[in-house]
A = this chain, B = another copy of it.
Amino acid sequence: MKKLTTLFALLLVCATSFAQQALWGGSPIVSPEIHDNNTVTFRLKAPNAGKVEITGDFLPTKKMKTPFGDFDGPGAADLTKGSDGVWTYTTPKPLMPELYSYSFLVDGLKITDPSNVYMIRDVSSVTNVFLIGGGRADLYKVNEVPHGTVSRVWYNSPTLKMTRRMTVYTPAGYETSGESYPVFYLLHGMGGDEEAWIALGRAAQILDNLIAQGKAKPMIVVMTNGNASQEAAPGESSLGMLPPSMQMPKTMEGSFEMAFPDVVKFVDSTYRTVKRKSGRAIAGLSMGGFHSLHISNEFPDMFDYVGLFSAAIMPDKSVQAPIYDNLEGKLKVQFSKNPALYWIGIGKSDFLYKANEDFRKLLDKDGYKYTYYETDGGHIWKNWRIYLTEFTPLLFK
């Protein structure tokens, strides 16, 4: 390591008063350490703790009881205390390529790993992440390829009477090419916002890599905020630093869907876009799949490519809104216009599997053409990243 001269050392000390413990607290703790064989060691210095566990999505799941039934929750494993006060856990087997999340439990208190600055917020929880490369997961990495631009942009929605925030990916070369690009509208699920696909979904990395490999066309990706009561992600709006919540008004009751033409109008007037149906795709996960279904159905001349990723199909029975009326009649109109792609992806153990099975039967009954992609697992980001890597190469061909 480079010898620190005094000036550098002073800068270092003073600029990082909070970091001092890490700098002079003894030898630094490396966690997670990904070994060459893809086993992973986690470490936590906690000399006073009585019990340290790790919980994460790479561990065998365990049943969790909730008021709504039992679900597969993340499992946990015990760390072992060393004589130096450092607790360790090494996975017994190599981990498969994937982006993983984890937390520690110290005497029952869930904490993030102080040695790992990489964290992702999912609604109201912040967990550490790490990435095992290889196979499909190499699409989730920042590789040495041309990188698109990721922008946080505010647009006006006259329908919702709000200024709202979106995340926009423009492909490498957009700024200077002078060309027009097709647009992929990519929608998040309940509790998410305009940050979800960029953070948990690795959308910018997936697009960069697929485009660089020649597997996807250069395209603009627009990630909106699908909560019609919300201007922007928590902390990014004038509401301040309120805790994020799953329980927001105006999510699956038609407001967002009916206001979607505001989004398309803004994008078409702000970016160099292919301003026709054949240059537009819409897809989303869970609630965003539900939004994609109903937006594309309500505005059948707007999108030629539709993707439902683990989608909810119909709103709760208590919801009354014209957009959800006459589904079959509207599907008849939409499919009479021959969409270039209608794509449905779902996991075998997803709680929405049955609803999607019923929806496919409805499409089959009338001979509507769609592409179906089934995976293992349930209603999880791992699947949504997979669906994005499968769906995107099919667009705008």
Contacts and interface: CB of A to CB of B under 8 A. Distances in A.
Interface of A: 1-2, 4-24, 28, 30, 44-50, 57, 64, 66-68, 71-74, 101, 103, 106-112, 114-119, 121-127, 129-131, 133, 141-144, 146-147, 149-154, 163, 165, 172, 175-176, 189-192, 232, 234-238, 240-241, 243-244, 246-247, 249, 252, 269-270, 286-287, 312, 315-318, 350-351, 378-380
A5 B318 contact: yes
Question: Do most interface residues of chain A lie in helix, strand or loop, or is the interface mixed?
Answer: loop
Contacts of A237: 142
3 smallest beta-carbon distances between A and B, as pairs:
A14-B379, A48-B107, A151-B151
A45 to B, nearest CB: 8
A111 B114 contact: yes
Contacts of A110: 21, 114
Contacts of A246: 12, 15-16, 19, 23
A94 to B, nearest CB: 18
A68 to B, nearest CB: 5
Identical copies of this chain, number: 2
10 contacts: A9-B67, A9-B68, A15-B192, A17-B72, A44-B109, A45-B109, A48-B108, A116-B241, A117-B244, A142-B235
Contacts of A101: 18
Contacts of A44: 109
A133 B235 CA distance: 14
Given A48-B107, A123-B15, A165 B147 contact: yes
A73 B17 contact: yes
B119 A18 contact: no
Contact of A64 (B20, B150, B151, B318): B20
Given A15-B379, A71-B14, A270-B176, A106 B109 contact: yes
B124 A191 contact: no
Given A238-B144, A241-B131, A247-B2, A378 B152 contact: no
Nearest to A24: B66
B119 A147 contact: no
A119 B125 contact: no
Given A8-B190, A101-B18, A110-B114, A131 B240 contact: yes
Nearest to A239: B142
A154 B176 contact: no
Contact of A19 (B122, B153, B176): B122
Contacts of A287: 11
Nearest to A379: B14
Contacts of A235: 117-118, 142
Contacts of A121: 117
A109 B115 CA distance: 12
A285 to B, nearest CB: 9
A48 B48 contact: no
Contacts of A117: 121, 124-126, 234-235, 243-244
